[in-house]
Amino acid sequence: MSCERRKETGPCRYSVHCLRGAIFALLASAIALFFSVTAFGQGTTGTLRGQVLDPAGAAVANAQVTAANKETGVSTKTVTTSAGTYSFPSLLPGKYSVTVEVTGFKKYVKNEVTVLADRDNVADAQVELGVATETIEVSAGAVQVQTASSSLADEFNSDDLSNLPQAAGTLNGSPLNLAVLAPNVVAQPGGVTGVGGSVGGTRPRENNFVIDGVDDNNLGVTGPNSTVIPDAVAEFNLQTNQFSAEYGHSSGGQFTLVTKTGTNNWHGSGEW
């Protein structure tokens, strides 16, 4: 202790500097790990949020909201804020049922709520006065227009992928071939390097490819590094323009594949 206070010379001074360097290295590693986990989650999960209102349009606070995955049966719960809003920041893509329960109101259930990966999904609810033993069930219907972001994106689900022609040659059944069906995308001419076509007027070599939140770019061919069969893909997201800074790796199309997860039922497919 006296050595540090007086001069910090010799071995004592050296040990103090080493300790400071070790602490700095640990902090840097922790920060890098935190941001890497956050970035990984952005490509494989989606946000589900909404607002709960009463018949007069007033916010309903402290309501219990439950989001249940229809395929896995996994449920996540939260409560609404004083403004009647709720948010599930990280849900696996798929179909959900959203249940709202609050004292003095009927139980509210919204079925077939679609959660898309890397999207801000919205499921609002309007409860009615009554007892909790009564239930109101509604169907979410089609996916709502994206109003929380200015990015231009096209979503293709597993049904779209299963109907993709399994032709030989240039198509060869790749899920990425669905990109040519999206607006603002044209097929690339012969002799042009890159994969995925011209997106938003950019060269095909400017496209970016991600699988389950992991970079999948092959710099040698300026295309994807891995081949994923359509049956293994749960969702294909193609962002064509006005995407956020997290996609700053490339200026072309952002090709994001999310593979399927397990469910509670045995299932499979075959082809020949």
- Whether 122 and 214 map to the same domain: the answer is no
pLDDT of 166: 57
Q: Name the nearest CA neighbour of 174 among 197, 148, 150.
A: 197
Same domain, 70 and 51: yes
What does pLDDT average to over the chain? 76
Which range has the worst mean pLDDT, 23-32, 125-134, 230-239? 23-32
Same domain? 74 vs 32 = no
Predicted confidence at residue 84, as pLDDT, reads: 93
Task: Note the pLDDT of residue 76.
Answer: 92
How much is the average pLDDT of 6-25? 54
The average pLDDT across 16-27 equals 60
Is position 265 within any domain?
no
Q: Are residues 169 and 206 in the same domain?
A: yes
β-strand partners of 34? none
In a domain? residue 144: no
pLDDT number for residue 146 = 59
Between 5 and 272, residue with greater pLDDT: 272
271 within a domain of the structure (yes/no):
no
246 compared with 115, residue with greater pLDDT:
115
Residue of 217, 259, 260, 256 whose CA lies nearest to 236? 256
CATH number at 85 reads: 2.60.40.1120
Q: Please indicate, yes or no, whether residues 251 and 163 belong to a single structural domain of this protein.
A: yes
57 plus 78 within the same structural domain? yes
CA distance 112 to 109: 10
* Domain finish residue from 80, 108, 139: 139
| Residue 120 in domain | yes
In a domain, 76, yes or no: yes
Residue 35's domain comprises 2-43
Shared-domain flag, residues 217 and 134: no
Total domains, the chain: 3
Residue 168 lies in a domain: yes
Helix (H) or strand (E) holding 97: strand 94-101
Judgement on whether residues 162 and 239 belong to the same structural domain of the protein? yes
Helix-then-strand count for the chain, H and E: 3, 18
pLDDT tens digit sequence for 69-86: 988 888 999 999 999 999
37 and 59 co-located in one domain: no
Q: What is the pTM of this model?
A: 0.60
Question: Is the pLDDT score of 110 beyond 60?
Answer: yes
Q: Are residues 195 and 163 in the same domain?
A: yes
Mean pLDDT score, 117-126: 85
Please list, residue by residue across 242-267, b when 16 or more beta carbons sit within 10 angstroms of its beta carbon and e when fewer do: ebeeebeebebbbbbbbeeeeeeeee
Asked if residue 171 is part of any domain, the answer here is: yes
Which residue stretches of the chain are H helix? 2-6, 10-44, 158-162
Q: Which amino acid is located at 208 in the chain?
A: N
In a domain, 272, yes or no: no
Domain match, 161 and 176 both: yes
User: Among 138-147, 178-187, 262-271, which is the least confidently predicted range?
Assistant: 138-147
Least confident of 93-97, 228-232, 242-246: 242-246
The whole-angstrom separation of Cα 141 and Cα 143 is 7
Q: Are residues 19 and 101 in the same domain?
A: no
